[in-house]
Structure 1
């Protein structure tokens, strides 16, 4: 079986596609120190989200160190600049939501994260949602979020050495692409 290693990997997929499980297994199959960077805020009273967060915690073993960071993931990357470390950032979609919710300058934070990712020696695996393949949202705010998410995914895909889409629990390698260049 052909293998491909990469220092930076973007894992994209739809809701419940298996992207987080795939990303976690990819990290656990490595010999590196494992750090899970949780970007989800915990909302009081949201029992369903609390259960999701608890399930993620339960699914990780004792090799994992967890860091909860809703905004400054660039700082986390810089603090853990070590070639023997893998950072699993789950997920970019919730991080983007946090930036928008707190009315923070998106390009400053995205640019800071991309810079930190380019400069670090750590291995980075980023989980992100593919939100542009569904129906067109009826709300201007939701359409704007979808557009921001699509642009963020494009920037992450360009910056990462490897991009994997997960559908129905199956990983599909998008980058690097060994397919011939298409021409007319």
Structure 2
């Protein structure tokens, strides 16, 4: 039986580090799916990517998959651990999609997850705890990522919140909301 785990929290909270720890603890071969694309003109972005690369054990396989996440998960081999970092970047990669196309993309991902025979670790950023974005694209991003996190959280075995340098197991501390009404 595969496990599906969601690790969420604010920027720079340690989400990725906790997911990496869980991947190592799984004892299974790890496939790290990076959803970000490199931009060599943005040195600060490259430094962030490099920090993540340096933390990964050498025996992990890294796949750069900015868009075709559902296909990559469907192709996952049993008895492996897939770490997806991050869903926020993956959502941003689809920001130009109209709402109907996005709903199709999201639905395909959520339908595929229960069929995957590998352990799945998803890292996602919480964006709705601050100021409402002043621009439509920012609100679209926030709303899409928040909806994904809520829907994914309802199908996960465990949901962790990493904040303030601490890890909270929300699956033990709380209980899931009923499904959102359309």
TM-score, L = length of structure 2: 0.89
| 2:50 is the counterpart of 1:50 | no
* 8 Å Cα contact 1:88/1:126 also seen in 2: yes
Aligned 1:157-176 pairs, distance under 5 A: 157-176=153-172
In the alignment, the residues of structure 2 paired with residue 68 and residue 103 of structure 1 have an alpha-carbon distance, to the nearest angstrom, of: 24
In the alignment, the residues of structure 1 paired with residue 20 and residue 130 of structure 2 have an alpha-carbon distance, to the nearest angstrom, of: 26
Unaligned runs of 5+ in 2: 176-182
* Structure 2 residue aligned with 1:145: 141
SS of the equivalent of 2:94 reads helix
* Structure 1 residue aligned with 2:20: 24
* Structure 1 residue aligned with 2:85: 90
User: How many residue pairs were aligned?
Assistant: 174
Pair 178,70 (structure 1): closer, same or farther in 2 beyond 3 Å:
closer
Unaligned runs of 5+ in 1: 180-184
Superposition deviation, residue 95 in structure 1: 0.2
TM-score, L = length of structure 1: 0.88
| 2:106 is the counterpart of 1:110 | yes
Once superposed, which parts of structure 1, at least 4 consecutive aligned residues long, lie more than 3 Å away? 101-104, 176-179
For residues 33-86 of structure 1, the C-alpha deviation after alignment (integer angstroms, 9 at most, x for no partner) is 10100000112301111111111111101221000001111111111131x100
